[in-house]
């Protein structure tokens, strides 16, 4: 090797960012240090003057892995390459975690003359890894589902609670986006707002209706937060949610109980009055047509007196079912009280309301109860007049109903 090449190699070793140390190959003496570059001296805290002629055993301490050191000795004795990680100690006694490799150096005759070791202080990396594992265990320990994605919304982490809530394992969702949970219960405006809020670096909170792996739906109170790096660039998103399906079911049950008649499942009178008032307000504001039918089961008192209240309740339920199946999907059917029902028909002209009323009457007439026999229905129909309140509209339809009853029942009368 020329003088220039020797100088180049020495400069490369001494200026290397990695810590480099060269020892002799005298195994009996423990392989004494001959050269250590500034990076090695900075890492260990020992100047070259204190290292030269000593063995690197001086870096070992209580947490140095003895099994790894024994493996190192075997490699040195056999002149083999070695790589390992353990805890070493600086001159001031502070520990650091080092990853190093050792290569044998031979002369032209093949005789082992030296060992060269390239080392890195990986303490910060190992501690970060430990913290990440601790964080992962902590996230797994929480009962709330947690999901972490990269900036492109690709899933990189999901905790155990997420797996239990959705039925998806982490291996099934990793690399995919949270769109796999979409239930189609939210419109595009919902997701547009989500993307807009997150792009602005703000948290997005909402109640999501998500779909599990088995296709079932669940309600999740969810918070999604962007995570930014030092420059403010969004690098990840973290979502924390809570399954509130039980609470939603309870709230829906309470709302149902507050607005529905227990026997028939139709709207109760209190909620029906609210629906009527709102419908009249909309018709007044927009100029739309509104029709109302009040109907009554004929001779219902006789049914109760002759066959008993269980039969009467069955008849009420059957008639309610017929009414509900006979109207349009947007029409409201209300149990007004006793055997009386109200059908609210928005955007329904009088002629169409008459046809619907006759359809209802004929379907009830065609129904045969196994115990009671044939049933009939009397109906009163009124179309809303300009500036008429819902109370006035109900009163006119009710008057038409009594006209139908006085005229022989089983008929539809107009107000």
For 155-189, write each residue's pLDDT tens digit.
999 998 999 999 999 899 999 999 999 998 999 99
Q: Is the residue at 253 inside a domain?
A: no
Q: Is the residue at 365 inside a domain?
A: yes
Asked if 276 and 390 touch (Cβ cutoff 8 Å), the reply is yes
Question: Catalytic residue numbers?
Answer: 339
282, 298: one domain: yes
Q: 390 exposed, middle or buried (CB, 10 Å; 0-12, 13-18, 19+)?
A: buried
Identify the band that residue 378 occupies on the pLDDT scale cut at 50, 70 and 90. Answer: very high
Q: What pLDDT, on the 0 to 100 scale, is given for residue 408?
A: 93
CA 164 to CA 266: how far, in whole Å?
A: 37
142, 239: one domain: yes
The token pair that represents 78 in the structure block:
């056999």
CA 393 to CA 383: how far, in whole Å?
A: 8
Checking if the pLDDT of 137 tops 90, the result is: no
Out of 32-36, 248-252, 297-301, least confident range: 248-252
Domain assignment of residue 221, given as a range: 127-248
Phi, psi (deg, nearest 5) at residue 407 = -90, 5
CA 369 to CA 318: how far, in whole Å?
A: 9
Checking if the pLDDT of 388 tops 80, the result is: yes
In Å, what is the CA distance from 359 to each residue of 323, 324, 411? 9, 12, 11
Q: Is the residue at 62 inside a domain?
A: yes
The CATH number assigned to the domain holding 389 equals 3.30.70.270
Out of 32-46, 68-82, 242-256, 382-396, least confident range: 242-256
Q: What pLDDT, on the 0 to 100 scale, is given for residue 1?
A: 56
409, 329: one domain: yes
CA 98 to CA 88: how far, in whole Å?
A: 7
Q: What pLDDT, on the 0 to 100 scale, is given for residue 127?
A: 84
For tokens 């009527």, name the residue: 276
Asked if 204 and 153 touch (Cβ cutoff 8 Å), the reply is no
Strands (E), 33-130: 33-36, 82-89, 95-106, 112-121
243, 192: one domain: yes
The token pair that represents 331 in the structure block:
């029409």
- Among 65, 94, 121, the domain boundary falls at 121
Q: Is the residue at 170 inside a domain?
A: yes
User: Which percentage of the chain shows pLDDT scores above 90?
Assistant: 75
CA 167 to CA 145: how far, in whole Å?
A: 12
The CATH number assigned to the domain holding 170 equals 3.30.450.20
The token pair that represents 153 in the structure block:
């919304």
CA 380 to CA 382: how far, in whole Å?
A: 7
- Among 248, 276, 306, the domain boundary falls at 248
Q: What pLDDT, on the 0 to 100 scale, is given for residue 216?
A: 93
CA 217 to CA 209: how far, in whole Å?
A: 7
88, 209: one domain: no
79, 132: one domain: no
208, 73: one domain: no
131, 91: one domain: no
Q: What pLDDT, on the 0 to 100 scale, is given for residue 81?
A: 92
How many residues are given for the chain? 415
The token pair that represents 76 in the structure block:
């040195």
Task: Find the mean pLDDT for residues 66-79.
Answer: 91
DSSP H helical ranges for 148-299: 160-166, 170-173, 188-199, 245-259, 269-286
Count up the domains in the chain and report the number: 3
Asked if 364 and 319 touch (Cβ cutoff 8 Å), the reply is yes
For 218-270, write each residue's pLDDT tens digit.
999 999 999 988 888 999 999 999 988 888 878 777 777 788 999 999 999 99
Q: Is the residue at 255 inside a domain?
A: no
Q: Is the residue at 214 inside a domain?
A: yes
CA 293 to CA 400: how far, in whole Å?
A: 9
DSSP 260: B
237, 310: one domain: no
- Among 192, 217, 248, the domain boundary falls at 248
409, 319: one domain: yes
| Dihedral sign of CA atoms 13, 15, 17, 19 in order | positive
- pTM attached to this predicted model: 0.51
Q: Looking at the DSSP assignment, which residues form a beta bridge with residue 105?
A: 114
58, 178: one domain: no
Q: Is the residue at 52 inside a domain?
A: yes
85, 220: one domain: no
User: Which percentage of the chain shows pLDDT scores above 70?
Assistant: 100
| Dihedral sign of CA atoms 133, 135, 141, 145 in order | negative
């Amino acid at each position: 090797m020329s003088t220039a090449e020797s100088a180049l190699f020495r400069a490369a070793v001494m200026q290397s960012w990695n810590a480099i140390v060269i020892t002799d190959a005298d195994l009996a003496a423990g392989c004494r240090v001959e050269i250590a570059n500034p990076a090695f001296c900075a890492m260990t805290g020992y100047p070259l003057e204190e290292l030269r002629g000593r063995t690197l055993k001086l870096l070992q301490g209580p947490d140095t892995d003895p099994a790894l050191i024994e493996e190192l000795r075997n490699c040195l004795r056999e002149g083999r390459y070695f790589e390992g990680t353990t805890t070493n100690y600086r001159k001031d006694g502070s520990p650091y975690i080092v990853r190093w490799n050792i290569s044998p150096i031979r002369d032209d005759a093949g005789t082992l003359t030296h060992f060269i070791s390239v080392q890195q202080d990986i303490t910060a990396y190992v501690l970060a890894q430990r913290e990440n594992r601790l964080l992962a265990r902590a996230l797994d320990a929480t009962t709330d589902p947690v999901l972490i994605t990269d900036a492109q919304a690709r899933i990189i982490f999901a905790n155990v609670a997420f797996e239990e809530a959705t039925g998806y394992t982490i291996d099934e969702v990793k690399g995919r986006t949270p769109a796999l949970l979409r239930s189609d219960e939210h419109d595009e405006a919902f997701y547009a707002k989500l993307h807009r809020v997150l792009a602005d670096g703000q948290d997005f909170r909402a109640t999501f209706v998500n779909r599990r792996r088995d296709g079932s739906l669940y309600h999740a109170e969810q918070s999604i937060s962007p995570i930014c790096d030092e420059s403010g660039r969004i690098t990840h998103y973290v979502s924390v949610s809570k399954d509130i399906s039980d609470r939603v079911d309870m709230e829906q049950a309470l709302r149902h109980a507050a607005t529905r008649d227990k026997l028939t499942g139709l709207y109760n009178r209190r909620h029906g009055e609210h629906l009527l008032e709102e419908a009249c307000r909309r018709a007044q504001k927009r100029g739309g047509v509104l029709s109302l039918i009040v109907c009554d089961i004929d001779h219902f008192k006789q049914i109760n007196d002759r066959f008993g209240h269980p039969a009467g309740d069955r008849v009420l339920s059957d008639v309610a079912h017929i009414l509900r199946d006979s109207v349009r999907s947007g029409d409201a059917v209300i149990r007004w009280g006793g055997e009386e029902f109200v059908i609210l028909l928005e955007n329904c002209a009088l002629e169409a309301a008459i046809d619907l009323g006759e359809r209802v009457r004929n379907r009830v007439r065609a129904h045969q109860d196994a115990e009671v026999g044939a049933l009939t229905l009397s109906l009163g129909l009124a179309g809303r007049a300009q500036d008429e309140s819902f109370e006035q509209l109900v009163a006119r339809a009710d008057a038409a109903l009594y006209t139908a009853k006085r005229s022989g029942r089983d008929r539809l009368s107009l107000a």
